[in-house]
Chains A and B, each alone.
Chain A
Amino acid sequence: MIQKVVLSFPVDATDRSLTYDLVKQYDIRINILKAEIQAGKSGNLLVELEAEPQKLDEGIAYLIANGVTVSPVSSKVSYDEKWCIHCGNCVSACFSHALTIGAPDWKLHFNPDKCIACKLCLKSCPLKLFRIEFAES
């Protein structure tokens, strides 16, 4: 089972080898897609976690127990649908195909599972409708 999540580390957790523990104790393979983390400061990791479902749940529980906030990517990247004009500018920039537009309705569709939080849509939307909580710095 693979799950893509954003791990937000509090200040005091950053120096501890939590990710090492995930591999060692819970047998979770970690694929780091994006990292914004500095020792002594809070930080964010966008990761794919791959493991047996039970191990995955235990590993995530272990992270939470250690003060790490674990949130699905979908809750982090969003756009203001009400104001969207379906122009397609963001689709052009989104090379991971999370954002698509096309026949038959030619309206914008967002598939959070494919989002890699690259932030290109943030700049490319001419109405500035995107919000990405991860990597706000």
Chain B
Amino acid sequence: MKTYAEINEKIKNGKAVVLTAEEVSELSKTLSPKEIAEKVDVVTTATFGAMCSSGAFLNFGHATPPIRMEKIELNGVRVSGGLAAVDTYVGATDCNPASPAYGGAHIIEDLVNGKKITLEAWGKGTDCYPRKHIKAVIGKDDINEAILYNPRNCYQNYNVATNTTDQIKYTYMGTLLPKMRNAAYSSAGELSPLLNDPECRTIGLGTHIFLCGTDGYVSWNGTQFHTTKPVNEFGIPTSNARTIAVIGDLKKMSSDFLRGAYIEKYGITLYVGIGIPIPILDEDLARRVSIRNEQIETTVIDYGNGNRVLGKTNYAALQSGSIEIDGHKIRTAPLSSLAKAREIAGILKAWIEKGDFLLSEPVRPMPTGTSLKGLTALDD
């Protein structure tokens, strides 16, 4: 048994033993969880994938005379005008329907890259905010705060998408060729954060993380947080279950780990890089982080045909380049970047080894016993 304080003390003294989740999975072939718990202090996990439920709060500062911005456009893209006088939330998927390939996620990336953005805003004019219109050029150094706040990131596991119809389908799971000629998956498998701590024993409100090139925090459970999905014999939910909400300083982020993207015939999304350190407090956690790709199962879904469940597979098979469903061999390819996830796990490991990054104990654990509600339309 180790405590957060003991592990942090080791980190400060440069004595902490830190491994990436892939390294510890390899080690688990020769060492028992007990031995791993004794040897290893921290395991770094990571993912780099498309996360639509992302966005940034910006505060522009006041002009003279001031304006209460009620309709706001950034580079021609309408963003939220429902947040006080000079604040907005740029949603990653915000876009101008006239040019759908550029939107909120690209604005966020442009800000990170230090590019200038045209701001145009309108207000009705009030006694205290008399101005009715303003046009200005802003960059990250000209505005007060720029805070990335993503309500739902880092899905614990995700479905595999294929298409049984005889037409190409353009989906958020990428281009799906006809007649199951490909299948797409979107998780870093044994490197993925929430698969290494499947019950969120160490990931909670206040967990210190790597977020898009700088440090950030888990700020809440993510939306659509689902803890009662079926799990396999290794305690892994076999489809998308838990999520996290994250927060960090956009001004310090890097486009190496944050990218605006456009998925054909679907829309805009943001590629987000997240790394989460897992303290190896005890044998149970050592066992959890030792999880291997072949032990992580997921569900194959027909995105061409009403999300029908076609079967189950695991990440060792997915990463081998092909899976078999009903006797069909299907070629697989990822949608999230394992190369980038590895890079992030490595950087976080180096930060911790150097003593630059300390772990934080959650100030509140994640909820339990949650499931999802649907939505009933008035005319249903």
Q: Which A residues are within 8 Å of any B CB, using their own CB?
A: 85-89, 91-93, 95, 101-103, 105-107, 120, 123-124, 126-128
Contacts and interface: CB of A to CB of B under 8 A. Distances in A.
Contact of B333 (A85, A91, A123): A91
Contacts, number: 75
Interface residues of B, number: 31
Q: Which 9 A-B pairs have the closest CB atoms?
A: A126-B261, A92-B333, A88-B334, A93-B175, A91-B333, A86-B339, A106-B338, A124-B175, A123-B264
B330 to A, nearest CB: 11
B321 interface: yes
A127 B182 contact: no
Interface in B249-294: 259, 261-264, 269, 271
A89 B335 contact: yes
B333 A86 contact: no
A126 B321 contact: no
Contact of A103 (B174, B176, B319, B335): B319
Given A89-B174, A107-B339, 12 more contacts: A87-B50, A88-B184, A88-B333, A89-B175, A89-B333, A89-B335, A92-B174, A95-B181, A105-B339, A123-B264, A124-B175, A126-B269
B175 A87 contact: no
Contacts of A102: 319, 321
A101 B321 CA distance: 9
Contact of B337 (A88, A124, A128): A88
Nearest to B268: A126
A54 to B, nearest CB: 39
A95 B261 contact: no
Given A124-B174, A126-B262, A126-B263, A92 B335 contact: yes
Contacts of B149: none
B336 interface: yes
A87 B184 contact: no
Nearest to A102: B321
A101 B319 CA distance: 10
**Most B Cβ at <10 Å: residue of A91, A92, A95:** A92
B208 interface: no
B119 interface: no
Nearest to B183: A92
Contacts of B175: 89, 92-93, 120, 123-124
Contacts of B200: none
Nearest to A99: B333
Interface string B327-344: 000010111111110100
A118 to B, nearest CB: 11
Nearest to B273: A85
B95 to A, nearest CB: 14
Given A88-B333, A88-B337, A92-B182, A127 B259 contact: yes
A17 B334 CA distance: 46
A23 B176 CA distance: 39
A96 to B, nearest CB: 11
A85 B263 contact: no
B192 to A, nearest CB: 14
A28 B184 CA distance: 41
A83 to B, nearest CB: 8
Contact of B334 (A87, A124, A126): A87
